[in-house]
Amino acid sequence: MRDAGRIAAEALLRVGEAVKPGVTTAELDRVAKEYIIHCGAAPTFLNYNGFPGNICVSVNEEVIHGIPSKKRVLRDGDLVSVDLGATYKGYVGDTAASFAAGKLSEAVQRLSDTTKAALDAAIAVAVPGARVGDIGAAVQSLCEARGYSLVREYSGHGVGKALHEDPSVSNMGTAGRGVKLRAGMTIAIEPMVNAGRAAVRVLPDGWTVVTKDAACSAHFEHTVAIMPEGAVILTRAEGD
């Protein structure tokens, strides 16, 4: 799991470095694919339930599951959310982050920073004996206090030999409720935060999820292991 997570993290780092105005989302897909394969792993997302890309690239009002395309050219000020997975020796590392193409507006930068802070807050409470509801409550309280809304239809999840395993890890919840976290569990925590309303819809391509009000959305994710001393982030690049 640690090796899979490291490969995923390093692939995401390289994709983030490639996010610039004028670059296509297909080029970002290529960068990730080549690095993951170079490491002896496989892109987890390719053909997962029929998904046609190696990674998901979601821009601005696109929340998750954006399909990479040669026709989608990044523009200055775009917020680019990249979600990817690497499967190594039968185990999966799953991670995501939102990157700036050029310079973000102050409002979009604040949204991105809040989403990252929500992920950090959720990881801090993911200790043995805590509940899944503690994670959701940490994300929800921070984001809603800053005036943002949370996507309800999609959530974090268990991850290990498969990309999506039990338990579901919602970004909303009540502290002290839900599945108890135990040492040895590996979960993906992934806040999806909207600048506007919570409502989303799926585009006709059957994959891309967008905000109904066309407001911007940000997405950050880490795969973590619940250890006796607390949550250990597995999706870290070497030396990070």
- pLDDT, tens only, 214-224: 999 999 999 99
pLDDT at 153: 96
| CB contact at 8 A, 221 and 94 | yes
**Assigned domain for 238 exists:** no
* Among candidate residues 113, 108, 117, 192, the one with its CA nearest the CA of residue 150: 192
- pLDDT, tens only, 73-129: 999 999 999 999 999 999 999 999 999 999 999 999 999 999 999 999 999 999 999
| CB contact at 8 A, 44 and 36 | no
pLDDT at 240: 72
**Assigned domain for 216 exists:** yes
| CB contact at 8 A, 222 and 95 | yes
CA distance 101 to 73: 10
CA distance 176 to 129: 10
pLDDT at 228: 96
Residue 6 has pLDDT above 80, yes or no: yes
**Assigned domain for 239 exists:** no
CA distance 7 to 10: 5
For the chain, the average pLDDT equals: 97
Banded model confidence at residue 238, pLDDT cuts 50, 70, 90:
confident
Query: What angle in degrees, to the nearest 10, is found between the helix axes of 132-145 and 106-125?
Result: 160
Is the four-CA dihedral 191, 135, 188, 159 of positive or negative sign?
negative
Banded model confidence at residue 172, pLDDT cuts 50, 70, 90:
very high
DSSP bridge partners of 76: none
**Assigned domain for 182 exists:** yes
Share of the chain above pLDDT 90, in %: 98
Please report, as a single letter, which amino acid is at residue 24: T
Q: Report how far apart, in Å, the C-alpha atoms of 39 and of each of 6, 42, 107 are.
A: 10, 9, 37
Q: Domain total for the chain?
A: 1
Residue range(s) defining the domain that contains residue 21: 2-233
**Assigned domain for 150 exists:** yes
Q: Which two tokens stand for residue 166?
A: 């039990």
**Assigned domain for 173 exists:** yes
**Assigned domain for 240 exists:** no
The domain that holds 166 is classified in CATH as 3.90.230.10
pLDDT at 202: 98
